Amino acid sequence: MELPFAPACERNQEPIRQALSEVFPRPAHILELASGTGQHGVYLARHLNYLTWQCTDLKPALAGLGARIAQAELPNLPPPRELDVSHPAWLHDWPDLKADGVFACNLLHIASWDAVLAMFRGCAQLLHAGSTLAIYGPFNENGFTSDGNASLDAWARESFPGGGLRELEAVAGVAVDSGFQEPEVKRMPANNLLLTLVRNA
Protein backbone atom coordinates (compact mmCIF):
# COMPACT_ATOMS: atom_id res chain seq x y z
CA MET A 1 0.00 0.00 0.00
CA GLU A 2 1.04 3.60 -0.51
CA LEU A 3 2.26 4.95 2.79
CA PRO A 4 0.66 8.11 4.20
CA PHE A 5 2.98 11.11 4.03
CA ALA A 6 3.00 14.58 5.59
CA PRO A 7 5.61 17.04 4.23
CA ALA A 8 5.73 18.94 7.53
CA CYS A 9 7.03 15.84 9.28
CA GLU A 10 10.09 15.79 7.04
CA ARG A 11 10.81 19.43 7.84
CA ASN A 12 10.50 19.30 11.62
CA GLN A 13 11.58 15.80 12.60
CA GLU A 14 15.26 16.63 13.14
CA PRO A 15 14.62 19.67 15.42
CA ILE A 16 12.16 17.49 17.36
CA ARG A 17 14.74 14.71 17.66
CA GLN A 18 17.33 17.12 18.99
CA ALA A 19 14.93 18.49 21.58
CA LEU A 20 13.64 15.09 22.67
CA SER A 21 17.16 13.73 23.09
CA GLU A 22 17.38 16.16 26.03
CA VAL A 23 13.84 15.50 27.30
CA PHE A 24 14.26 11.70 27.17
CA PRO A 25 18.02 11.16 27.61
CA ARG A 26 17.93 7.60 29.02
CA PRO A 27 16.40 4.26 28.00
CA ALA A 28 12.62 4.42 28.46
CA HIS A 29 9.27 3.33 27.07
CA ILE A 30 7.64 6.30 25.33
CA LEU A 31 3.99 6.41 24.36
CA GLU A 32 3.28 8.60 21.33
CA LEU A 33 -0.27 9.91 21.02
CA ALA A 34 -1.83 10.60 17.61
CA SER A 35 1.10 9.19 15.63
CA GLY A 36 -0.56 9.91 12.29
CA THR A 37 1.57 8.86 9.34
CA GLY A 38 4.20 7.31 11.62
CA GLN A 39 6.99 9.41 10.12
CA HIS A 40 7.94 10.86 13.49
CA GLY A 41 7.70 7.51 15.22
CA VAL A 42 10.02 5.80 12.73
CA TYR A 43 12.51 8.67 12.68
CA LEU A 44 12.67 9.01 16.44
CA ALA A 45 12.85 5.27 17.08
CA ARG A 46 15.68 5.00 14.55
CA HIS A 47 17.73 7.94 15.80
CA LEU A 48 16.94 7.65 19.53
CA ASN A 49 17.30 3.89 19.50
CA TYR A 50 17.67 3.62 23.27
CA LEU A 51 13.95 4.43 23.50
CA THR A 52 11.14 1.92 22.95
CA TRP A 53 8.61 3.91 20.94
CA GLN A 54 4.93 2.92 21.05
CA CYS A 55 2.84 4.61 18.37
CA THR A 56 -0.92 5.01 18.72
CA ASP A 57 -3.81 6.58 16.84
CA LEU A 58 -7.48 6.28 16.01
CA LYS A 59 -8.61 3.17 14.11
CA PRO A 60 -8.79 4.81 10.63
CA ALA A 61 -5.08 5.68 10.79
CA LEU A 62 -3.84 2.28 11.94
CA ALA A 63 -3.48 0.61 8.53
CA GLY A 64 -1.12 3.22 7.08
CA LEU A 65 0.64 3.72 10.40
CA GLY A 66 1.14 0.01 10.82
CA ALA A 67 2.45 -0.40 7.27
CA ARG A 68 5.10 2.27 7.80
CA ILE A 69 6.19 0.73 11.10
CA ALA A 70 6.35 -2.76 9.58
CA GLN A 71 8.46 -1.47 6.71
CA ALA A 72 10.92 0.15 9.14
CA GLU A 73 11.65 -3.19 10.90
CA LEU A 74 12.99 -1.53 14.04
CA PRO A 75 13.25 -3.68 17.18
CA ASN A 76 12.30 -0.75 19.43
CA LEU A 77 9.18 0.16 17.39
CA PRO A 78 6.34 -2.32 18.08
CA PRO A 79 3.09 -2.41 16.08
CA PRO A 80 0.78 0.54 16.74
CA ARG A 81 -2.16 0.40 19.10
CA GLU A 82 -5.57 1.98 18.78
CA LEU A 83 -6.07 4.77 21.29
CA ASP A 84 -8.64 7.54 21.53
CA VAL A 85 -7.67 10.08 24.19
CA SER A 86 -11.06 11.77 23.85
CA HIS A 87 -12.53 8.80 25.70
CA PRO A 88 -12.53 9.77 29.40
CA ALA A 89 -11.40 6.29 30.44
CA TRP A 90 -8.93 5.56 27.65
CA LEU A 91 -6.46 3.93 30.00
CA HIS A 92 -8.93 1.19 30.89
CA ASP A 93 -8.62 -0.18 27.36
CA TRP A 94 -4.98 -0.99 28.08
CA PRO A 95 -4.60 -2.52 31.53
CA ASP A 96 -1.10 -3.70 30.57
CA LEU A 97 0.10 -0.29 29.40
CA LYS A 98 3.31 1.04 30.89
CA ALA A 99 5.11 4.22 29.88
CA ASP A 100 8.00 6.22 31.25
CA GLY A 101 7.08 9.22 29.12
CA VAL A 102 4.48 10.49 26.67
CA PHE A 103 4.90 12.50 23.47
CA ALA A 104 2.10 14.28 21.61
CA CYS A 105 2.84 16.10 18.36
CA ASN A 106 0.37 18.46 16.68
CA LEU A 107 -2.53 16.99 18.63
CA LEU A 108 -4.00 19.73 20.80
CA HIS A 109 -5.22 21.97 17.97
CA ILE A 110 -7.06 19.15 16.17
CA ALA A 111 -8.67 17.76 19.35
CA SER A 112 -11.69 19.16 21.14
CA TRP A 113 -11.11 20.87 24.47
CA ASP A 114 -12.82 17.95 26.24
CA ALA A 115 -10.34 15.60 24.55
CA VAL A 116 -7.45 17.79 25.70
CA LEU A 117 -8.73 17.56 29.28
CA ALA A 118 -9.12 13.79 28.98
CA MET A 119 -5.59 13.51 27.59
CA PHE A 120 -4.09 15.31 30.57
CA ARG A 121 -6.11 13.30 33.08
CA GLY A 122 -5.10 10.02 31.44
CA CYS A 123 -1.43 10.96 31.20
CA ALA A 124 -1.42 11.98 34.87
CA GLN A 125 -2.81 8.54 35.79
CA LEU A 126 -0.37 6.72 33.54
CA LEU A 127 2.88 8.46 34.42
CA HIS A 128 4.73 8.05 37.68
CA ALA A 129 6.25 10.93 39.64
CA GLY A 130 9.15 12.53 37.78
CA SER A 131 8.06 11.22 34.37
CA THR A 132 7.63 13.61 31.46
CA LEU A 133 4.85 14.53 29.09
CA ALA A 134 6.23 16.38 26.04
CA ILE A 135 3.82 18.28 23.77
CA TYR A 136 4.88 19.78 20.44
CA GLY A 137 2.85 22.07 18.24
CA PRO A 138 1.50 25.58 17.65
CA PHE A 139 0.05 27.62 20.51
CA ASN A 140 -1.44 31.05 20.97
CA GLU A 141 0.26 33.43 23.38
CA ASN A 142 -2.35 36.09 24.11
CA GLY A 143 -3.46 35.67 20.51
CA PHE A 144 -1.85 34.41 17.33
CA THR A 145 1.93 34.53 17.13
CA SER A 146 2.04 34.56 13.31
CA ASP A 147 -0.16 34.79 10.23
CA GLY A 148 0.61 31.13 9.60
CA ASN A 149 -0.78 30.15 12.98
CA ALA A 150 -3.90 32.21 12.32
CA SER A 151 -4.43 30.30 9.07
CA LEU A 152 -3.75 27.01 10.85
CA ASP A 153 -6.36 27.88 13.47
CA ALA A 154 -8.97 28.57 10.78
CA TRP A 155 -8.18 25.25 9.09
CA ALA A 156 -8.37 23.32 12.39
CA ARG A 157 -11.71 24.87 13.32
CA GLU A 158 -13.14 24.02 9.92
CA SER A 159 -11.71 20.51 9.76
CA PHE A 160 -12.14 19.17 13.31
CA PRO A 161 -15.11 19.59 15.65
CA GLY A 162 -13.96 21.70 18.58
CA GLY A 163 -10.50 22.20 17.07
CA GLY A 164 -8.38 25.33 17.09
CA LEU A 165 -5.10 26.61 18.49
CA ARG A 166 -4.94 26.62 22.29
CA GLU A 167 -3.75 29.43 24.51
CA LEU A 168 -0.49 28.44 26.17
CA GLU A 169 -1.64 29.84 29.52
CA ALA A 170 -4.84 27.77 29.44
CA VAL A 171 -2.97 24.57 28.58
CA ALA A 172 -0.44 25.20 31.34
CA GLY A 173 -3.28 25.71 33.80
CA VAL A 174 -4.94 22.43 32.87
CA ALA A 175 -1.60 20.63 33.13
CA VAL A 176 -0.98 21.96 36.63
CA ASP A 177 -4.52 21.11 37.71
CA SER A 178 -3.99 17.57 36.38
CA GLY A 179 -0.87 16.99 38.47
CA PHE A 180 2.03 18.30 36.37
CA GLN A 181 4.56 21.00 37.11
CA GLU A 182 4.52 24.27 35.19
CA PRO A 183 5.73 23.53 31.65
CA GLU A 184 9.21 24.28 30.45
CA VAL A 185 8.72 25.99 27.10
CA LYS A 186 11.20 25.58 24.24
CA ARG A 187 10.72 27.59 21.06
CA MET A 188 10.93 25.50 17.93
CA PRO A 189 11.05 26.32 14.18
CA ALA A 190 8.00 27.57 12.28
CA ASN A 191 6.29 29.14 15.32
CA ASN A 192 5.92 25.87 17.21
CA LEU A 193 6.64 25.18 20.87
CA LEU A 194 7.75 22.14 22.83
CA LEU A 195 6.21 21.94 26.28
CA THR A 196 7.96 19.67 28.78
CA LEU A 197 5.75 18.79 31.75
CA VAL A 198 7.01 16.73 34.68
CA ARG A 199 4.56 14.66 36.73
CA ASN A 200 4.33 15.75 40.34
CA ALA A 201 4.69 13.29 43.20
> Domain of 94: which CATH number?
3.40.50.150
Whether residue 153 lies inside any domain: the answer is yes
Residue 56 and residue 58: Cα distance in Å, rounded? 7
pLDDT at 97 over 90: no
Element (H, E) at 187: strand 184-188
pLDDT of residue 5: 83
- pLDDT of 13 over the 90 cut: yes
For the chain, what is the mean pLDDT? 94
Distance CA 28, CA 22 (A): 13
| Residue 77: inside a domain | yes
What does the pLDDT look like over 28-53, one tens digit per residue?
999 999 999 999 999 999 999 999 99
Q: So what's the pLDDT on residue 86?
A: 85
Task: Tell me which of 165 and 11 has the higher pLDDT.
Answer: 165
Residue 52 domain-assigned?
A: yes
Q: How many domains does the chain have?
A: 1
Q: Report the candidate in 185, 190, 85 with the shortest Cα–Cα distance to residue 138.
A: 190
Report yes or no on 2 lying in a domain. no
CB 100 within 8 A of CB 23: no
pLDDT category of residue 131 using cuts at 50, 70 and 90 = very high
% of the chain beyond a pLDDT of 90: 87
Give yes or no for a contact between 84 and 94, defined as CB atoms under 8 angstroms apart.
no
pLDDT value of position 141: 96
Domain-located, residue 1: no
pLDDT at 8: 80
Residue range(s) defining the domain that contains residue 117: 7-198
Q: What is the pLDDT of residue 85?
A: 87
Q: According to the model, what pLDDT value does residue 187 have? A: 97
154 part of a folded domain:
yes
Is 110 inside a domain boundary? yes
Residue 12 resides in a domain: yes
The C-alpha angle with vertex 26 and arms to 85 and 194, in degrees rounded to 5, equals 50
